[in-house]
């Protein structure tokens, strides 16, 4: 069962298009991009970085931003990641990259407060969604672990990421 606080007409259209094209709904994954309001970035300079395996990243309950997915049961093959920006104030995006080890941090550019997308081997993204907007990325995934993250400056280090495991 999919539970959403709010689903936009664009998300409904994307899901209906997938159903009508003959692809199984199980290949669609809803990705919620969220934050704790307009002041989610207010204390960024005082927080420990919360990116995957970053030094000091230990208490994700203090994250002021995040990404959640509606399904952890993802199978290899063609997948549509439907990104929904649930924020009322902030622009977010969703990027996907393979994870070689959850114990190693992603290549991070501290000066620009962003993950180096080329060095992280980004596989694609849904670029900068305004609050309430929805976008989609159709991608073929092999079995393995992947990270979904927001690469708007500062967002990843504030905890805006999650991992997914793709099964054979």
For the chain, the distance separating the N- and C-terminal CA atoms, rounded to the nearest angstrom, is 22
Residue 1: what pLDDT? 34
Question: What average pLDDT does range 153-163 have in this prediction?
Answer: 93
Q: State the total domains in the chain.
A: 1
Is residue 25 scored above 50 in pLDDT?
A: no
Better-predicted residue by pLDDT, 45 or 69:
69
Confidence category of residue 135, pLDDT binned at 50, 70, 90: very high
Better-predicted residue by pLDDT, 48 or 75:
75
**% of residues, the chain, pLDDT over 70:** 79
DSSP assignment, residue 4? Answer: -
Q: Of the spans 37-41, 42-46, 99-103, 142-146, which averages the highest pLDDT?
A: 142-146
Question: What average pLDDT does range 53-58 have in this prediction?
Answer: 72
What are the beta bridge partners of residue 136?
A: 82
103 found inside a domain? yes
Cα→Cα distances 91→29, 44, 154, Å = 20, 16, 12
Using CB atoms within 10 A of its CB, is residue 96 exposed (0-12), middle (13-18) or buried (19+)?
buried
- Per-chain mean pLDDT for the chain: 85
Residue 2: what pLDDT? 40
Q: What CATH number should be reported for the domain holding residue 23?
A: 2.60.40.420
Better-predicted residue by pLDDT, 47 or 115:
115
Domain region containing 96: 9-167
Question: What average pLDDT does range 80-102 have in this prediction?
Answer: 96
2 found inside a domain? no
Confidence category of residue 50, pLDDT binned at 50, 70, 90: confident
Confidence category of residue 142, pLDDT binned at 50, 70, 90: very high
Residues 6+ apart with CB under 8 A from 114: 108, 151, 153, 156
């Amino acid at each position: 069962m999919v539970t959403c606080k709010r689903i936009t007409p664009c998300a409904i259209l994307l899901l209906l298009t997938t159903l009508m094209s003959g692809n199984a709904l199980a290949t669609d994954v809803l990705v919620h991009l969220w934050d704790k309001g307009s002041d989610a970035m207010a204390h960024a300079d005082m927080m420990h970085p919360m990116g995957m395996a970053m030094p000091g990243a230990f208490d994700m309950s203090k994250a002021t931003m995040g990404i959640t997915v509606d399904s952890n049961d993802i199978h290899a093959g063609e997948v549509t990641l439907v990104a929904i920006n649930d924020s009322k104030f902030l622009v977010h995006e969703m990027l996907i990259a393979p994870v070689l080890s959850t114990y190693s941090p992603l290549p991070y550019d501290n000066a620009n407060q962003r993950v180096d997308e080329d060095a992280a081997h980004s596989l694609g993204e849904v670029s900068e969604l305004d609050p309430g907007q929805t976008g989609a990325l159709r991608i073929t995934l092999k079995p393995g672990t992947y990270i979904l993250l927001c690469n708007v400056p500062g967002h990843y280090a504030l905890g805006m990421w999650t991992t997914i495991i793709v099964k054979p």
